Amino acid sequence: MKERFRMALLKLNPMVVDVYRRWLEPRTIPNLKGDRDVEYSWIVANLPDGPGKALDFGCGSSWMGLAAARKGFGVTCIDLVDPRWFFQHPNVSFHRADLLRTELPPRDFDVIICCSTVEHVGLVGRFGVGEEHPDGDLDAMDHLRSLARPGGRVLLTIPVGRDRILAPHHRVYGDRRLPQLLKGWDILREEYWVKDATNRWRMADRGEALAVEPSVYIYSLGLFVLERSA
């Protein structure tokens, strides 16, 4: 059965074959497995206590909105596609919306969660929705700044490494694009992770993380607590 499956995949395009190789061959081949463990734990560890209002931008099917609700926040979750949640909570609401087109109240949110989302804004094809916009990520961060209250925090996780646009999948932020993305924000806390020789995530310094040559399948992680600049 496994051999028939392998032969069927080989008839598909090279990208599918490469995905198969990287995910089913030995663990030592670098890949993104475990990235959400690092990102979600960062967000939970840095969520302040409520009460207040929180925005989960690009929530997907994650439970970050639920984590914020447990901290005492009223949570608005937005994404371009409907989430697949196995929970409901009276303080968590979902709206199917494009951040750059939705009319959210300005200066309304105490906390904004942006977990592995902004790098996709304006790259069309991966999710089958949205519009092409080369600087969609920069516009999204600027818009989030307008939604944050003075002193409001953003919990941001993004791919980092050498600057790349790996359309339609994601952008990777390096020495050039990363400062542009974070313009208008004060960095209160930052942390970087890379994959080691055994394909496990480990903490690294900024220079090492941004020196990684990225691809669709591997990059470093940049984790930030940002505060809206005055």
Q: Provide block-wise average pLDDT over 10 residues at a time, the chain (230 residues).
A: 52 54 58 97 98 97 98 97 95 95 94 97 74 91 96 97 96 98 97 96 98 96 92
- Give me the pLDDT at residue 21, please: 53
- Give me the pLDDT at residue 26, please: 46
Q: Is 199 exposed, middle or buried (0-12, 13-18, 19+ CB in 10 A)?
A: middle
The domain made up of 31-228 is a member of CATH 3.40.50.150: yes
Domain extents in the chain: 1-29, 31-228
Q: What are phi and psi of 10, to 5 degrees?
A: -65, -20
- Give me the pLDDT at residue 167, please: 92
- Give me the pLDDT at residue 95, please: 96
- Give me the pLDDT at residue 161, please: 98
